[in-house]
Amino acid sequence: MFRWFVKDEVEKDVLSPDKRTRCKLLLKSGRISYSVYRDNKIIIRPSRLGFKICGEKPLTEDFKLVRAQSKRHSETIELQWGEDRFIDNNYTETAFYFTESKGFKRIMTLRIRVFNNSVAFRYEIPPQPKFRRITIKDEITEFNIDLNAIAWKIPAYQPDRYEYNYEKTIVYDLKESVHTPLTLKTPNGCYLAIHEAALYDYGSMTIKLDENRSLKTDITPLSDGTKAHVALPFQTPWRLIMIADSAIELTTNRSMYALNDAPSQDFGWVKTLKFIGIWWAMYVGEWTWAPGERHGATTEHAKEYIDAAVRLGIAGLLIEGWNEGWEGDWLENGINNKFTVPTSDFNLEDVARYAGRHNIELVGHHETVGFVDNYEKQLEAAYNYYAINNIHYIKTGYAGSMMMINGRREYHHSQLGVQHYQKTVELAAKKHICLDIHEPIKGTGIERTWPNLLSREGARGQEYEGGALSPSHACYLPYTRLLAGGMDYTSGILDLANSVKRMATTLARQLAYFVTIYSGMQMAADRPFIYEERFPDAFKFIRDVPTNFEKTVPLLGEIGEYYVVARKDRNSEDWYVGGVTNEKSRRIHISLDFLSDGVYRAEIYSDRDDAHYRENPFSTNIQQKHVGRNESLDLYIAPGGGFAISLQKLR
Ligand code: NOJ
């Protein structure tokens, strides 16, 4: 449909293919706003749109609509790896072309896409006379949701970036900025998550309640106080509102990926990976990152870990603390990191050859401590160094509270931060390197376009165990952080009662994480001797569970309380089920009707009745039985516990 007209007042609906979700565009007295309805109930009241621009009249008023163009799109997208191989990209779209009625008559397009389970829109500003480069002072996009809606939030602009415990509050109390995905439940029972998709070259969106009691976009500022400097043509990331009838349904909303572009080059070389690491030994104080008597990353330790990886059947090995720059307080001294200079007790070439001979993929490590200037100077050489040594995976880290870019302190989630992360992803793609970014920019689905971005951290992970994680944390993640894509949670720490880092989980729950928390690079995070000598039976699940799934079926759950999910392997007929609970024990009944016909051998790793994350975390049942799709399983989950099941198809 294609229409030419000039209108001062417009009210136009964009309706989802199943007609349950509706976005209404309103142009009144020159101002543009939108609202969102689900089953004819309003869930986002009229909300303003537009920008304030430095040195220019704001792009917020005196608009007229000159043209609106609608289309239906229906397609199935295939993702190279992830939680689901196929995702729907079905939507109705209307592009609204506006022009100002006064002054320079600037033009701006608002493109709205309505999926069955999401509303998304973005602004597009084409180049136009006297309007070529602009500095965004503020984006005023509002999300006017009921002030009594419940919100699950983490704060923005804090020193630990996204690494905070989720808190439940009401929208009325969101006076400080919070990160997205911001998960919400409206008083009429609708679940929403406000997020963004395809974040490139722009500050990341945080959200706060403004003076008018509207939830409003607060784009992360640059150190000069502005939000972004952009050249036209410019388009914002998609502003995305995921919508579901239940919390568990929200967890498989994949519109974020559908809103990103298909890859523009061949990524056939990208493979998901499970890896162990010269890593947790540093957290429990056995080894150190810095050189010295207890240095972890020595040639000898690396070869021992490679041998262990072979015995364990794990394909990769991460080596942290291998390079110069860790001496002293590494968080303070990170400016000294040299990414092409190994410590004197670590021979990278030798270790890489040894890994190659044993078919083990090394995962390199670049801890920048946020000193982006220092890193960017070395970037090309650092990636080349790994590439020529056949190292195809790098874990990067930005542990500082702010980044140092162009000599100034900038937020990780500012436009300059976003640009830097993107530079690493694109350079890595050129060198056929996959990335696992710690202290990252949040996920906005760009791994559809850049599948070499296999994982991120971007929330509290298990390194916070030993006091700062409660059992509810991993029950919040699937409904909040994980809506933004996979996470390297560093699962599989089985030495639960270690006096330095006591885990707030049961043993079975550590296995469950490999299913409940997806990551394209999945770390089996404990030391190899723990797996080989103490828990060989439980370790079998960690070895068996895949890192690439065909299909994900969310089964049961409530935000912050529990979560149960089934996933089918991408390369076989086998299924894996995982479940976790908060401090409360639960009895769970799951129907196996997601299986296909036939007989499956179930291996069930579950908490015993006397298990408890504090008092009795090791109390685990491992049991086998044959099951089919007409059967169901009854499982007990202990306080702070979980379960993991593999279902291997026999015939
Ligand atoms: C923080 C990362 O999350 C962790 O995995 C890493 O070991 C340390 N920084 C050191 O780089």
Question: Ligand 1 pocket: which residues have CB below 6 Å?
Answer: 279, 320, 367, 397, 399, 438, 457, 463
Q: For residue 483, is pLDDT > 80?
A: yes
- What pLDDT score was predicted for residue 130? 80
* CA distances in angstroms from 278 to 12, 120, 283, 324, 647, listed in the order given: 58, 42, 10, 16, 31
- Give the Å distance between the CA of 399 and the centre of ligand 1: 7
Atom 3 (ligand 1) nearest CA: 438
* CB burial of residue 329 (10 Å; 0-12, 13-18, 19+): exposed
Give the whole-angstrom CA distance, residue 313 versus residue 192: 41
- What pLDDT score was predicted for residue 4? 57
DSSP bridge pairs for 409:
404
Q: Write down the mean pLDDT value for the chain.
A: 97
- Give the Å distance between the CA of 279 and the centre of ligand 1: 9
Atom 10 (ligand 1) nearest CA: 367
CB within 8 Å of 388: residues ≥ 6 apart? none
- What pLDDT score was predicted for residue 253? 98
- What pLDDT score was predicted for residue 333? 84
pTM for the full model? Answer: 0.97
pLDDT tens digits, one per residue of 306-319: 999 999 999 999 99
Domain locations in the chain as residue ranges: 2-258, 469-487+501-651
Work out whether the CA dihedral 528, 531, 536, 537 comes out positive or negative.
negative
Strands (E), 39-166: 41-48, 51-53, 63-73, 76-78, 86-88, 91-100, 107-115, 118-125, 133-139, 150-153
Query: What is the mean predicted confidence (pLDDT) over 334-361?
Result: 96
pLDDT tens digits, one per residue of 80-97: 999 999 999 999 999 999
Q: Which atom of ligand 1 is nearest to the CA of 282?
A: 7
Q: For residue 2, is pLDDT > 70?
A: no
- What pLDDT score was predicted for residue 629? 98
Q: For residue 326, is pLDDT > 80?
A: yes
Query: What is the mean predicted confidence (pLDDT) over 5-13?
Result: 85
- Give the Å distance between the CA of 397 and the centre of ligand 1: 6
User: Are residues 29 and 20 in contact, defined by beta-carbon separation less than 8 angstroms?
Assistant: no
- Give the Å distance between the CA of 396 and the centre of ligand 1: 8
- Give the Å distance between the CA of 293 and the centre of ligand 1: 21
Query: What is the mean predicted confidence (pLDDT) over 386-411?
Result: 98
User: Are residues 57 and 131 in contact, defined by beta-carbon separation less than 8 angstroms?
Assistant: no
Q: For residue 17, is pLDDT > 80?
A: yes
* CA distances in angstroms from 350 to 87, 353, 364, 575, listed in the order given: 43, 5, 14, 39
Classify the phi-psi angles of 530: left when phi > 0, otherwise alpha if psi is within -120 to 50, otherwise beta.
alpha
Atom 7 (ligand 1) nearest CA: 279
Mutate to test the pocket of ligand 1, among 463, 487, 522 (most ligand atoms within 8 A of CB): 463
Query: What is the mean predicted confidence (pLDDT) over 556-572?
Result: 98
Report which of 380, 326, 322, 333 is spatially closest to residue 355, judged by C-alpha positions: 322
> ∠ CA(394), CA(396), CA(397), 5° rounding?
160
Mutate to test the pocket of ligand 1, among 288, 337, 367 (most ligand atoms within 8 A of CB): 367
Going by CATH, does the domain composed of 2-258 fall within 2.70.98.10? yes
- What pLDDT score was predicted for residue 241? 98
Q: Which atom of ligand 1 is nearest to the CA of 457?
A: 3
Q: What percent of the chain has pLDDT over 70?
A: 99
User: Are residues 475 and 562 in contact, defined by beta-carbon separation less than 8 angstroms?
Assistant: yes
Mutate to test the pocket of ligand 1, among 289, 319, 320 (most ligand atoms within 8 A of CB): 320
Q: Which atom of ligand 1 is nearest to the CA of 365?
A: 11
pLDDT tens digits, one per residue of 422-476: 999 999 999 999 999 999 999 999 999 999 999 999 999 999 999 999 999 999 9
- Give the Å distance between the CA of 302 and the centre of ligand 1: 18
- What pLDDT score was predicted for residue 334? 84
Atom 1 (ligand 1) nearest CA: 399
Atom 6 (ligand 1) nearest CA: 397
Query: What is the mean predicted confidence (pLDDT) over 264-282?
Result: 98
| Res. 6 pLDDT band, cuts 50 70 90 | confident
| Res. 5 pLDDT band, cuts 50 70 90 | low
Q: What kind of architecture, by CATH, is found in domain 469-487+501-651?
A: Alpha-Beta Barrel (3.20)
Token pair in block for residue 408: 């100034």
The catalytic residues are 463
Q: For residue 540, is pLDDT > 80?
A: yes
What torsion, rounded to 10 degrees, do the Cα atoms 33, 37, 41, 45 define? -20
| Res. 207 pLDDT band, cuts 50 70 90 | very high
Report which of 647, 551, 549 is spatially closest to residue 599, judged by C-alpha positions: 647
Q: Which atom of ligand 1 is nearest to the CA of 279?
A: 7
- Give the Å distance between the CA of 366 and the centre of ligand 1: 10
| Res. 3 pLDDT band, cuts 50 70 90 | low
